[in-house]
Structure 1
């Protein structure tokens, strides 16, 4: 029932493990992506929207107060939270919607966990006049009720998925089921660097704008490359975007931070999930294990295939952070720098609070602030007042 292609592998991870009819759809998607990703007109339009609609370039901000408080390395923040819609998700969404437009799509579907990808997808669908359906775990619709309203305000239909744990994995399940049933007229705008080929490669391509900018900005400010780049990891889209341009720079440490109760990198083993091979939190029968994170966007039992590969070959480091440390990072950045980060991004902030003091003042680290914390304020208020 499945076909396996060797395209889209990162070492042993990746591939396309899907039913034959869906493979045909993915082949067409790959063909169009390869056709347009280096096309001059396509990139001119994409860059126009990056600058005029998203507000790129996002700043690389020297967090002077946080640096003084921590001691040690200089701390820089890549401000993806300042993008239109409030996160890095808009980068990939714009690239894919322009691709969908060129492919003649009229209907777009997407999955979302914390709601930021859903909001970004609903935003561009509104702008380009496309029908939009967003799948979201029922538990996440409660945690992120504000983002559900934003999606609906933008004209999207939000489907609350009650199956399984009613979280991100289950939303992805339903989105792929929709695609299998409606592939003839539907474009699946996948939000993370996961799924069957070409999705991980495509998402990395559009998110790599983060590290292209940060590398140029850091060289201008410091005259050298950073000591380390930090980013939270769930499926891994913001992290692979933040790492992309530094992968070949072996002196730059790449550090992904994940929740301790969804520690795919620490505890996962090779397995198949959502049509690709990656490190998975799974039982002896290969079934995905339940996960939990206070950050809905990181609540996923797998991880992107390139992250799985980077961990396996030792090019990137992956560490875990507790919920208590995340809340500390959330509050610290808010109080010290006047920047309220998303709970997802707070994982990276929390690790930076521990890492920076161990380095010298000659060192510098970049934290990818993947999203702003407006969506999480009510949730954090409730947690801190319990």
Structure 2
């Protein structure tokens, strides 16, 4: 399936309503303007679009299937379906935009891809794209996440990427973004910062959304074929928000489809620094070059955040999500650590699918919807698989769920 990338938002300045834009130094703005122009050209370039479509089909393995989780549905009383992005090459939805960004970088004559990663899935996907296209690759990752997500660190290094630890602050995703920006500004001419979600200065919230929209385009056609109609409800986890917008994008104009973005309540939703529920608890602010909801202290600085899922512990969120919240097109809910870990084991043992801990937040909310009486169909984005998480989960939670840690 070839994307056409036709949207009315953002506007020419990169704003979704009041959110988005580009709040960066003039030197960088010139580089980002070049990226915007190059991106607009490739969206009209059949050669580029055909090459990307070919890679999606023959390299990634698209279309990813929709799975009707019949055992889970029977247990909880609502029909739960899953868009299986975990079955993509590299194990998550991230490969969708990484291939697009890497192809664009090569078209622009860049020599190196640079990026941040939290759970490591974006890092692995970008390292994979770099290896495929013959580009260098530097991945910045918080020291805490390097320890939690060690299998993905090894994958990145096997693929030839250089993994650079972020050693300041809480040493997680926000700090990895800080470090990646610092590395990028040293040489924005030969490097291409392949931002890992629908965040950052324009054009990245638009560009990553567009590359991820293949998820929803496929899902809409597949669900129609499977059931004869659209799902009643869509569910996806939200950190930066790329997997959610990827699924939701194709359904935004259909008011009959309810959409739920699931944020991490962490250890305590009512305690600063113990969650990462940006849209639930945040206020508008500017961070990392764009305006969106963010978790901030009294001085307007980013708050420390936390989630059991390394890919969700970010104190801001994609600007389109903030716009969709304000116009009440999407509902944003929360799932705490325990609920996510319960869902991680539940899906593993009821359906034989081990999800990423990030995706387990969406699974947990779908189960909660069913328990609370939802009778309509639920389609969730199973955005990644849990290979990367099993050592960490076993060490911290295994004994509570009857898993023996023999390491």
Cα distance in 2 for partners of 1:131, 1:120 equals: 13
Write the mapping of 1:282-361 to structure 2, written as runs, cut at 5 A.
282-359=296-373, 361=375
**Secondary structure of residue in 2 paired with 1:371:** coil
Aligned residues: 380
Distance 2:248 2:15 in 1: 18
Deviation digits for residues 72-113 of structure 1, max 9, x if unmatched? x21110000000000000000011111111111111101100
In the alignment, the residues of structure 2 paired with residue 286 and residue 210 of structure 1 have an alpha-carbon distance, to the nearest angstrom, of 35
- Aligned match for 2:143, one of 120, 138, 141: 138
Shift of residue 312, structure 1, vs aligned partner: 1.1
Deviation at 1:24, TM superposition (A): 0.3
Aligned to 2:4: none
In 1, the alpha carbon distance for the partners of 2:225 and 2:343 equals 28
Q: Is the 8 A contact 1:6 1:15 kept in 2?
A: no
In the alignment, what sits opposite 1:369?
382
Instruction: Tell me the equivalent position of 2:153.
Output: 148
Q: Return the offset for 1:180.
A: 1.5
CA separation in 2, counterparts of 1:342 and 1:93? Answer: 19
In structure 2, the residue matched to 1:32 is 38
Partner of 1:239: 244
1:255 aligns with 2:269: no
Residue by residue over 1:231-285, the C-alpha shift from the partner in whole angstroms, topping out at 9 and shown as x without a partner, is 0000111111011111111111110001111110110000001000000000111
Name the structure 2 match of 1:86. Answer: 91
How far apart are 1:151 and its partner, in Å?
0.4
- Cα distance between partner residues in 1 of 2:167 and 2:310: 15
Residues 208-228 of structure 1: per-residue CA shift (max 9 Å, x gap): 000000000111111111111
Instruction: Choose which of 11, 18, 28 in structure 2 pairs with 1:22.
Output: 28
CA distance in 2, matches of 1:98, 1:367: 29
- 1:337-372, Cα deviation, whole Å (9 max, x unpaired): 0000000000000001110244565x2110100000
Give per-residue Cα distances to partners, 1:304-354, cap 9 Å, x unaligned.
000011111110000111101001110110001000000000000000111
Post-superposition shift, 1:163?
1.1
3-state DSSP of counterpart to 1:266: helix
Equivalents in 1 of 2:178, 2:289: separation in Å?
A: 10
Q: Distance in 2 between matches of 1:382 and 1:175?
A: 30
| Kept in 1: contact 2:213–2:247 (CA 8 A) | yes
Shift of 1:201: 0.1
> TM (normalized to structure 2)?
0.92
Counterpart in 2 of 1:280?
294
Q: Could you tell me which residue of structure 2 aligns to residue 174 of structure 1?
A: 179
CA deviation string 1:183-205 (max 9, x = no partner): 11111111100000000000000
Report the equivalent of 2:190: 185
Give TM-score, length-normalised by structure 1.
0.97
Shift of 1:179: 1.7
- Which moves more between the two structures, 81-90 or 249-258? 249-258
- Contact 2:110–2:189 (8 Å) recurs in 1: no
1:51 and 2:65 equivalent? Answer: no
Following TM superposition, by how much is the alpha carbon of 1:38 offset from its aligned partner in structure 2, in angstroms?
A: 2.9
Please give the root-mean-square deviation of Cα atoms over the aligned residues, in Å.
Answer: 1.1
Q: Distance in 1 between matches of 2:218 and 2:72?
A: 22
Q: Which of 182, 204, 229 is residue 224 of structure 1 equivalent to?
A: 229
Which blocks of at least 5 consecutive residues in structure 1 are unaligned? none
Aligned to 2:403: none
- Partner of 2:139: helix, strand, or coil? strand
How far 1:6 sits from its partner (Å)?
Answer: 6.4
